[in-house]
Structure 1
Amino acid sequence: MEPTHRQVQTNGIRLHIAEQGTGYPVIFCHGFPHGWSVWRRQLRALAAAGYHAIAPDLRGYGRTEAPEGLEATTNEAVAGDLLGLLDDIGAEHAVFVGLDFGAQLVWELSLRAPERVAAVFVLNNPYAPRPPKPPSAFWTRAAERHFLHLSYFQTPGVADAELAARPREFLARVYYSLSGDFHYLDTWKNPPGIGYLDALPQAPALPWSWLSEAEFDAQVTEFERTGFTGGLNWYRALDRNWELTAELPTTVPVPAYFLYGENDPDMEGFSGRDPLATLRANVPDLRAVEKIPGAGHLVQWERTEAVNEFLTRHLKALDPANS
């Protein structure tokens, strides 16, 4: 069976979703540069396990609308899309799964609307409380010493043009560099002032052991059509997200499950000195922390069976429909 697709009118936009199965809803939130289909294998597995698995193209991606302006790509705005999705399917609450920007989104959603979040399952991006300074205060100094994509992406039009001109090459390079087959932080050995493609390694020819040509082509086709601005705007909203979270709680009030790749670059270079200690200190109902040996950032592709087993095992124990 394949997922079905439809448009949901929510929070002032048309949100494209792929959905599969029936039962309690589990909603998957992707990151950059991905779309709904990065979760295709998980939709199949959870539908077979008796869940209603849903993967939206988040705001600015794929077949979902991409409103203009900084406020349109904040976590607050996208959280509104997800709450509207719950209303559309008639669900009081759901389990949310997130990776990359999707992880930051579901952590924040649990702070904004805990009554609508039965639990969060997060891959590779651990929770940390709001820092004392906006994110740009930390990356600006680092970007003076070496190339850093967080800084490079901030100027509208620059990365947009570079990546849109060579989408297939960019996606191959960035997916490979983020995987456990490469050490992503080696991109920091490059000087500032260069483009992202110059900082990324050459990727081996597809298919890879963990990614088929068809799955890769699905991502390429969407970004060839849309370009990358919708996703890059999420980076440009990071400081605004920081401003909008000043009054939110600092600890996560819902059950949480965390799975990470042993070689994930976010765990190594972007989540503080001891990300697991910070996670445990600020997520009181943290029910599982598990590591996947050898995996990198794209664990749902790299170690599909392990990710699916983690999700189905803990969902069964959680029993969210009856909790």
Structure 2
Amino acid sequence: MDALTRRIDVGEIRMRIVEQGNGPAVVLCHGFPGLAYNWRHQLPVLAANGFRVIAPDMRGYGGTDRPDDPREFNRAHTVADMVGLLDALEIDRAVFVGHDFGAALVWDLPQWAPGRVRALIQLSVPRTATSPILPSTAYAKVAAQHFLHLHYFQEPGVADAELDGDPAGFLRRVFWALSGGYRYVDIFAHPSTGNGYLDVLPQAPPLPWPWLSQAELDHYVETFTRTGFTGGLNWYRANDHIWHEKQQRPDEPVTVPVCFITGDKDPVRQITGADSMAQLRATVPGLAEEHLIAGSGHFVQMEAPAEVNRIILNFLRALDS
């Protein structure tokens, strides 16, 4: 069965999805900078093995609507997108797969959308306890010592103008910087003052790389040249709003079955260290599997697709058995 691309009404917004296969539902949620295209290696494989796979362009990206207000990227809105997606496709429950900001959202789905989640497969971003400090306050404190993209992205219009001005340069360099081929923490040697993101990102080697071709990069460049980056940046700007939501709705343990996958060179792993994995195990009693993929960075589903696909299929088959 070939993949079908369409736009559907999920409630507040219209969402572009790529769908392939028949069987138990699996929803793939990308992060920044991403598209449904981030899952191009997973869609056909999972579909060929008996699953109905749905990869949306998440709110703010690609062919999905892009609200201007960061408050419309808070947890209430993004959870409503996922529930609306299931409702529109007449799916009762799904396995949700998350990466980057997609993973942050997916960690909350069992609590915020009870009864709609069979299991979670999470890439790169472990679950951690909500900080007692407002995110923007914490980012500013770190940015006083060195460049921090989380802080730089907060001011509307600033990063947007820089990234929109050179989509090809930004995407090539950020994909490389976050991959297993570079040590992202070296960026922290740069001060925040006077620097934009393109000032601190490394120059990338010529394409193709083992995991990214020129044609694949061109797909991202063409899309983000058309849409701009503001929709993606609004996921960062929503962090304070999500923090306030969680003061009224504290995190609960995740008890559904969970598989966690990360690369040993993922910057998230390098920055957060062993403590984040300890928090993951403490807050996710449903954690059934942990996988560390050698040589992979942040985009593990693209950098090591065969290994990620094997792990995902084994976990899904175990659920069905």
- 2:291 corresponds to which residue? 290
- 2:241 corresponds to which residue? 240
Structure 2: segments with no counterpart, 5+ residues: none
- 1:47 corresponds to which residue? 47
Q: Distance in 1 between matches of 2:108 and 2:59?
A: 16
Summarize deviations over 1:90-126 as a string: whole Å, max 9, x none. Answer: 1111000000000001001122113101011000100
Q: Secondary structure at the match of 1:128?
A: coil
Q: Secondary structure at the match of 1:145?
A: coil
Shift in Å, 1:273:
4.8
Question: 116-125 or 127-136: which moved more?
Answer: 127-136
- 1:86 corresponds to which residue? 86
Point out 4+ residue stretches in structure 1 off by more than 6 angstroms.
none
Summarize deviations over 1:252-311 as a string: whole Å, max 9, x none. Answer: 131111011001111121x36511111111101110001001110010111010000010
Q: Are the counterparts in 2 of residues 28 and 97 from structure 1 also a CA contact under 8 Å?
A: yes
Q: Are the counterparts in 2 of residues 114 and 253 from structure 1 also a CA contact under 8 Å?
A: no
Summarize deviations over 1:217-252 as a string: whole Å, max 9, x none. Answer: 111111000000000011111011111122143311
Q: Distance in 2 between matches of 1:273 and 1:134?
A: 23
Q: Distance in 1 between matches of 2:198 and 2:49?
A: 40
- 2:71 corresponds to which residue? 71
Q: Distance in 2 between matches of 1:2 and 1:217?
A: 22
- 1:304 corresponds to which residue? 305
- 2:24 corresponds to which residue? 24
Q: Are the counterparts in 2 of residues 129 and 251 from structure 1 also a CA contact under 8 Å?
A: no
Q: Distance in 1 between matches of 2:209 and 2:80?
A: 37
Q: Distance in 2 between matches of 1:249 and 1:164?
A: 35
Which letter maps to 1:276?
M
**Residue pairs, 1:150-189, within 5 angstroms:** 150-189=150-189
**Residue pairs, 1:1-323, within 5 angstroms:** 2-193=2-193, 194-246=195-247, 247-269=249-271, 271=272, 273-319=274-320
Shift in Å, 1:11:
2.0
Shift in Å, 1:75:
2.5
Q: Distance in 1 between matches of 2:295 and 2:281?
A: 23
Shift in Å, 1:191:
1.1
Q: Are the counterparts in 2 of residues 295 and 302 from structure 1 also a CA contact under 8 Å?
A: yes
Q: Distance in 1 between matches of 2:77 and 2:53?
A: 22
| Identical columns (%) | 48
Over aligned residue pairs, what C-alpha RMSD do you find?
1.2
Q: Are the counterparts in 1 of residues 94 and 119 from structure 2 also a CA contact under 8 Å?
A: yes
Shift in Å, 1:7:
1.0
Shift in Å, 1:79:
1.0
Shift in Å, 1:195:
0.7
Shift in Å, 1:145:
1.0
Q: Secondary structure at the match of 1:114?
A: coil
Q: Are the counterparts in 2 of residues 112 and 248 from structure 1 also a CA contact under 8 Å?
A: no
Q: Secondary structure at the match of 1:245?
A: helix
Which letter maps to 1:125?
V
Q: Distance in 1 between matches of 2:212 and 2:76?
A: 33
Q: Distance in 2 between matches of 1:51 and 1:40?
A: 15
Shift in Å, 1:128:
1.0
Q: Distance in 1 between matches of 2:144 and 2:173?
A: 24
Q: Distance in 2 between matches of 1:196 and 1:57?
A: 24
Which letter maps to 1:192?
S
Shift in Å, 1:76:
2.0
Q: Distance in 2 between matches of 1:111 and 1:189?
A: 39
Q: Secondary structure at the match of 1:219?
A: helix
Q: Distance in 1 between matches of 2:2 and 2:228?
A: 26
